[in-house]
Amino acid sequence: MTVTAERAEHAELPTESLLEAYGRMTLIRVFEERVSELYRDSEVPGFVHLSTGQEASAVGACWPLTVTDVITSNHRGHGHCLAKGLPPEPMMAELLARATGTNKGLGGSMHIADPDLGIFGANGIVAAGVPIAGGAALAAKLRGRGVVVSFFGDGAVAQGAFHEAANLAALWRLPMVFFCENNGYAEFSPIADQHPVPMAARAAGYGLEYVPVDGNDVEAVAAVMTDAVGRIRAGGGPMFVEAITYRWHGHYEGDPEKYRDKDELAEWQQRDPLVITRARLLQRGVGPEKLDLIETQVRARIDAAVDAARQAPPPDMSVLRSSVYAPRPAVPEPDWTPVADGEIFRTMDAVRLALEGELEADPEMFVAGVDVGKGGNVFALTRGLYAKWPDRLLDTPISETAVMGLGVGGAMAGMTPVVELMYLDFLGVCFDQILNQAAKLRFMTGGKARMGLVIRTQFGGGRSSGSQHSQSLEALLAHVPGLTVVMPSTPADTYGLLRAAIRDPNPVVFIENRQLYGMKGPKPPADYLLPLGKAKVVREGTDLTIVSVSRMVHEAVAAADALAPRRISAEVIDLRTVAPLDKDTILASLAKTNRLLIAHEGVTDFGIGAEIAALAVYQGFWTLDAPVMRVAPPPTPSPYAPNLEQQWLPDRQSIERAAEALVRV
């Protein structure tokens, strides 16, 4: 047993502090009792997971924390939020799906958060909050202030997200407490069926100091956490605290609980943390009438919170639109025209220079990913930046979920993260942090969460890289509300769009084509910025419109040039940003040419071409003189054999043939 745990056995809070802790635990207990009743009566919709019986671990864990410290929570997070200081009134309104709720009725029980109070969110995905806590802890370390506590249950340690976050936190000595509330069950399964080794062995495997504590003893938990947080503030590394406790209710409200017997529950109810604390206060001479008054006042407050929530209006549909994206700063189209004898640079130079300029301008920006620091990136894109900013060019383990969590948590903490996903194909191993966290946290917090981060990645077929290193997955990302998806085609656009993406207050996935890294083009001025969500007509025409993006833009222009001698005038649009889609530019061109061809590197079926075609048929129907056509790879994975890949990928000849057929219709 560690010194910290030994101290906890004999620790006492001052009587006034213990009274305060008793009041906080009572608030959690009464709040959740009412929520259970309201759920039973169908006033609380959706899933509800209660922490009744675990009040001491929540209150004790948050006892030494300040407003500027951060917690992340899980689906059983009411107690953590209340213990960290979130008032019960807006929480109750949130659970009743009211506009006055903490998150305007967009989060509900599993997603309550208030970043202004350091509450980075309860989370409906098991262990998802742990990598986010790692990002918040990195922000705290870079700023030299703050501690992060990540709450999770015993079931979460089986998740890869937990492993990646724990490994990274230990490696970087992040100011973070991994706080495991071990209540004996992962959903319906007892812990013996879930884990081959105890939590102490897991913690030791990461090099984390491990401290066990009686999670039903608020004084013991508060002592352990006060000691742990104090040592971390003084420069100590992360710690793993295991609070042994028990949930009185099922995994969710309505759970039939066939997996445990009543005797087990009754035995744990004899160790009720409120009863234990009340008994200690009585032993110290606190009169029962004072304790009864605390409960009476809490019940009155919760009653009033329920009444106020019932009278509050439901959220209006306008909150949906206003909560998905933060307002973008106005970025006008730059007034720059390349000159014949102007300076030339490559796309790979554009990436480095954009990062360098923004690192110079923003001391809160960091770049993290596999080999982005000392190694300068697998494609040498960040070479030289580590020498200038060794504390902000961060080489991570091969842990994509943890890396994306650094971006999400760092952004919520107000920093400017640029995190790298080495290949777009690796999206699958970290998609939760992008799909369910980065894209949704602003929305689920009613617009409160800051989420300005950039995920840089690259793709590109044509190099016999096979099916797991050649995919064009932009349509998958563009389908996720909350994400901005950018795909530049030139060195200048790469520079201007990347700088704009870093400055944007929304999560941006910036997808480069590795086939273009060596491409040369005119170098714009250092202050060059391009607006996100704005396409560009790169070649004027009158007979048909070709819409494309990234490398395929160059194939489309080449096809248009080849068609010109045959008196076919093709207009070429470079989308630049896939989501949001610049519908106006597409429709304006279609109104002029009356024919539409779409070319992209993603497979045909369900690709971005289908969305653009739907736009043309729905909003541009009366301007169409021919069917919409698409040029894209067939719906198979990318082949390895060069001859097959060459036939599989569209090129200027296939675009040319399709365009010629279209104008003949």
Grouping H, G, I as helix, E, B as strand and the rest as coil, residue 513 is strand
Q: Look up residue 263 and give its amino acid.
A: D
Start-to-end Cα distance in the chain:
81
Query: Which amino acids are annotated catalytic?
Result: 469
33/25 Cα distance (integer angstroms) = 12
612/409 Cα distance (integer angstroms) = 34
List alpha helices for 75-217, DSSP H. 78-84, 88-95, 129-143, 160-172, 199-205
404/418 Cα distance (integer angstroms) = 9
Q: Look up residue 528 and give its amino acid.
A: Y
121/444 Cα distance (integer angstroms) = 9
What would the two tokens of residue 354 be? 């954009």
Q: At what angle do helices 15-40 and 218-233 cross, to 10 degrees?
A: 110
List alpha helices for 1-65, DSSP H. 3-9, 15-40, 55-62
The neighbouring-strand residues paired with 394 are 368
199/211 Cα distance (integer angstroms) = 10
What would the two tokens of residue 28 be? 């959690």
| Extended strands (E) in 215-301 | 239-244
Pairing of strands 577-579, 484-486: antiparallel
Q: Which residue has the tokens 């909560």?
A: 323
Q: In sequence order, what are the residues at sequence separation of 6 or more whose Cβ sits closer than 8 angstroms to the Cβ of residue 330? A: none
List alpha helices for 528-596, DSSP H. 552-563, 583-593
636/640 Cα distance (integer angstroms) = 12
Give the H or E element holding residue 486. strand 484-486
Q: Which residue has the tokens 């198979």?
A: 636
546/375 Cα distance (integer angstroms) = 40
What are the phi and psi torsion angles at 550 (to 5°)? 60, -140
What would the two tokens of residue 206 be? 């990461």
Q: What is the DSSP letter of 152?
A: E
